[in-house]
């Protein structure tokens, strides 16, 4: 991707990751009694500190050149409860070339269909409000019901309605873009939103900013906090702020992260926050989606805690949503009068001409003169293919993927071509090969594509608002449980670290709450679990490890037994089984029992540690 397509803040957001948003060396949070805050602020200023956030029960300040131990020593005061590092928090999104044109008609993003959001009607009278903590919202985009949107600014970030790059606008559109015949439609169309702009011009904020924002969300009457952001390091003040929002009946949702590893990012890693992973349109996990372990503690004290790892996923790969005005790039491809899906590669403009097939375009061909080149992917770079087309007199280029799905790509940082070039899906190759004429258009748009757990998070936030609007008597934690209870199992059978309980399903969650009430059904609100109860005990014998499984409630003649997500045996349903684990040494093993052939009628998971 050519980075000059985006602002500097976006470039930072595109490459940020959990490990990349570390604590500032000299910025700290000081917890203090509110009635003694003035004394502590005065002391901090006297010590040369620069104050940043004046929050409920805390302040944030920079002590230039001083480490944590030095600041603790300087603030050895009876009114100071705690001094801790103030960690950076940054937006989590990676970027793909923009594709599609929603300027003249309303398009439904694939994640809406995938999550069943189109099957549930949003109840606008339920009083749902989603608090979006991000980079602000572009006030010029017409795809929002602006009378339903309020906001706050954090210190130094500017007006909440002046965007700090497309990230916040894209997120907000996924949650609540209006159903108004233009642009896109959100998961909960027209839902009330409160926007808090926390990212500065460099594209990041701090954990103190998030703690303060949580309080502002509460004051605004929000039911849900949505955060497509994160960074390294756990922070007591930040954690407490979200725990308090939860305790008041709210729901907090945050992105797992985009490094594709098992690092735990915060705030998603706090137990009070629902961690969200990303899947693609084919129900496959996104390769960038982080997957931290659910294990808490070590050795014999290790336990499974599903609140500190991915709980559910939603569409987060190449998702279409709102952008600040004219900041996205749109591609339109029309062949023989029919629209064909395409993605923008490079070079704005509109051309119409006869189609000429150039194969893989590894050489110039005079037959392309005055025509639109149709080119197969492979062998040489995209840039060289388009360059050969242009050198042959071609006026535009269409490069067709050589594997299933849309071709997303650019012509490189040293692009020397000038003709508009788009990518196309392999599935449309036959249509393109049979066509006579084509019109290729690349221009600016108010709608574009992004990828990341940043995009999956607002999808779940919007689904939560949608479902909750039809069951306003429930608490946030009951909605959280219902979303997990009805998620579509994906990946390994049962709960796993990549998908958690699976892909969110709005209609199924709505039906579940209608049938069972807020407290859930026979499975106690535990996702994917039936009425099977399981206990597991582990022991060593003559140097080998064994696990005795005992269960009740399965109705099939045989059951499937899973260890660490893999089916290790199908055995008689006689309510007991002993698993012998080969190899020496210790380890942690997660067991689950399911009715034969089922991935939904299962026990909860049980863990043994040797």
Which residues are identified as catalytic? 134, 167, 454
Output phi, psi for 35, to 5 deg. -75, -10
Rounded CA-CA distance 580/87 in Å is 45
Residue 359: other Cβ atoms inside 10 A? 14
Rounded CA-CA distance 230/157 in Å is 18
C-alpha distances (whole Å) from 338 to each of 8, 237, 332, 439 are: 38, 56, 11, 10
Rounded CA-CA distance 82/271 in Å is 21
Give start and end residues of each alpha helix (H) in 472-555: 476-485, 506-516
Residue 127: other Cβ atoms inside 10 A? 12
Between strands 58-62 and 50-55, the pairing is: antiparallel
Residue 146's nearest CA partner among 161, 164, 127, 130 is 161
Rounded CA-CA distance 494/604 in Å is 9
C-alpha distances (whole Å) from 184 to each of 59, 163, 174 are: 40, 19, 8
What's the token pair of residue 561?
């037994």
Rounded CA-CA distance 162/277 in Å is 28
Q: Do residues 155 and 53 make contact, with C-beta atoms less than 8 angstroms apart?
A: yes
Residues in the chain: 610
Q: Do residues 406 and 428 make contact, with C-beta atoms less than 8 angstroms apart?
A: no
Residue 488's nearest CA partner among 517, 522, 545, 528 is 528
Q: Do residues 311 and 495 make contact, with C-beta atoms less than 8 angstroms apart?
A: no
The span from the first CA to the last CA of the chain, in angstroms, equals 48
Give start and end residues of each alpha helix (H) in 416-516: 429-434, 453-469, 476-485, 506-516
Specify which residues 206 forms β-bridges with: 88
Contacts of 176 (CB under 8 A, 6+ apart): 130, 144, 145, 148, 186, 187, 188, 189, 190, 191, 193, 462, 465
Rounded CA-CA distance 527/311 in Å is 10
Rounded CA-CA distance 533/605 in Å is 10
Radius of gyration of the chain (CA): 26
CA angle 386, 388, 392 (to 5 degrees): 115
């Amino acid at each position: 991707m050519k980075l000059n397509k985006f602002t500097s803040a976006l470039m930072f957001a595109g490459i940020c990751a959990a490990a990349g948003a570390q604590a500032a060396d000299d910025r700290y949070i000081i917890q203090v009694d509110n009635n003694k805050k003035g004394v502590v602020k005065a002391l901090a200023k006297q010590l040369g500190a620069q104050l940043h956030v004046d929050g409920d029960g805390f302040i944030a300040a920079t002590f230039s050149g001083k480490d944590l131990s030095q600041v603790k020593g300087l603030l050895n005061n009876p009114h100071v409860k705690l001094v801790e590092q103030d960690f950076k928090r940054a937006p989590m999104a990676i970027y793909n070339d923009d594709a599609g044109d929603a300027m003249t008609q309303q398009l439904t993003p694939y994640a809406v269909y995938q999550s069943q959001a189109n099957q549930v009607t949003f109840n606008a009278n339920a009083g749902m409000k989603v608090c979006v903590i991000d980079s602000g919202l572009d006030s010029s985009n017409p795809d929002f019901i602006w009378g339903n949107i309020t906001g706050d600014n954090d210190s130094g970030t500017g007006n909440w309605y002046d965007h700090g790059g497309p990230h916040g606008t894209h997120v907000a559109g996924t949650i609540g873009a209006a159903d108004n015949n233009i642009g896109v439609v959100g998961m909960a169309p027209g839902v009330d939103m409160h926007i808090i702009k926390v990212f500065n011009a460099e594209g990041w904020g701090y954990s103190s900013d998030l703690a303060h924002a949580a309080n502002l969300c509460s004051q605004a009457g929000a039911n849900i906090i949505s955060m497509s952001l994160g960074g390294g390091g756990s922070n007591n003040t930040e954690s407490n702020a979200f725990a308090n929002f939860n305790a008041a009946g709210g729901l907090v949702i945050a992105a797992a992260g985009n490094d594709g590893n098992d690092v735990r990012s915060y705030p998603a890693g706090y137990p009070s926050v629902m961690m969200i992973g990303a899947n693609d349109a084919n129900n496959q996990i996104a390769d960038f989606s982080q997957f931290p372990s659910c294990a808490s503690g070590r050795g014999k004290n290790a336990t499974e805690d599903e609140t500190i790892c991915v709980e559910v996923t939603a569409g987060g790969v190449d998702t279409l949503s709102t952008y600040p005005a004219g900041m996205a790039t749109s591609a339109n491809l029309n062949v023989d009068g029919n629209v064909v899906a395409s993605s923008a590669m490079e070079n704005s403009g509109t051309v119409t001409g006869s189609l000429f097939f150039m194969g893989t375009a590894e050489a110039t061909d005079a037959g392309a003169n005055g025509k639109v080149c149709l080119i197969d992917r492979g062998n040489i770079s995209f840039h060289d293919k388009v360059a050969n087309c242009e050198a042959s007199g071609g006026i535009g280029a269409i490069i067709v993927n050589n594997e299933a799905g849309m071709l997303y790509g650019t012509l490189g940082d040293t692009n020397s071509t000038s003709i508009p070039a788009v990518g196309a899906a392999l599935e449309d190759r036959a249509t393109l090969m049979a066509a006579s004429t084509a019109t290729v258009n690349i221009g600016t748009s108010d709608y574009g594509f992004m990828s990341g757990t940043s995009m999956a998070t607002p999808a779940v936030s919007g689904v939560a608002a949608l479902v909750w609007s039809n069951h306003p008597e429930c608490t946030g934690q009951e909605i959280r449980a219902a979303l997990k209870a009805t998620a579509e199992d994906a990946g390994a059978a049962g709960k796993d670290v990549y998908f958690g309980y699976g892909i969110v399903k709005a209609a199924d969650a709505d039906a579940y709450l209608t049938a069972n009430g807020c407290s859930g059904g026979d499975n106690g609100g535990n996702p994917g679990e039936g009425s099977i109860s399981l206990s597991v005990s582990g022991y060593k014998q003559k140097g080998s490890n064994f696990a005795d499984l005992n269960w009740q409630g399965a109705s099939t003649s045989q059951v499937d037994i899973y260890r660490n997500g893999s089916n290790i045996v199908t055995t008689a349903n006689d309510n007991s089984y002993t698993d012998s684990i080969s190899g020496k040494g210790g380890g942690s093993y997660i067991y689950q029992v399911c009715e034969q052939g089922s991935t939904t009628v299962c026990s909860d998971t049980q863990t043994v540690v040797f």
